[in-house]
């Protein structure tokens, strides 16, 4: 393995770890929001949170796909995952605002 390949692999690993961290942070926030919504008996918010918790599994599958993808597909899968995570985080923020208002 040459130096360039090793550097590219290290960069990919760092990006993977960053994206995984974003997913985990959003997931932890959702768990906290779920507990607060349940305590407030906010059924609509609970349903939205449960839906997002289900969608996070999709993010984990995409993260695994990124990890396994070859050079040709890596950038495509990464771009798709970054977009999905951003959408997921925005949905979490919307629910967070609603739960805080309870």
Helix (H) or strand (E) holding 98: helix 71-100
> DSSP of 22-83, one letter per residue?
HHHHHHHHHHHHHHHHHHTT-HHHHHHHHHHHHHHHHHHHHHHHHHH--HHHHHHHHHHHHH
- For the chain, give the percent of residues with pLDDT over 70: 99
pLDDT at 47 over 90: no
Check residue 36 and give its pLDDT.
86
Total domains in the chain come to: 1
Determine what percent of the chain is predicted with pLDDT higher than 90: 54
Domain region containing 74: 3-100
pLDDT in tens, 71-93: 889 999 999 999 999 999 999 99
CA dist list (Å): 75 to 31, 46, 90: 30, 35, 23
């Amino acid at each position: 393995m040459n130096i360039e390949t090793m550097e590219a692999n290290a960069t990919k690993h760092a990006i993977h770890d960053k994206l995984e961290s974003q997913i985990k942070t959003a997931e932890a926030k959702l768990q906290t929001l779920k507990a607060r919504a349940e305590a407030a008996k906010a059924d609509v918010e609970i349903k939205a949170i449960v839906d997002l918790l289900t969608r996070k599994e999709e993010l984990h599958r995409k993260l695994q796909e990124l990890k396994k993808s070859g050079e040709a597909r890596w950038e495509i899968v990464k771009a798709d995952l970054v977009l999905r995570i951003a959408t997921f985080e925005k949905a979490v923020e919307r629910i967070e605002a609603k739960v805080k208002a309870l």
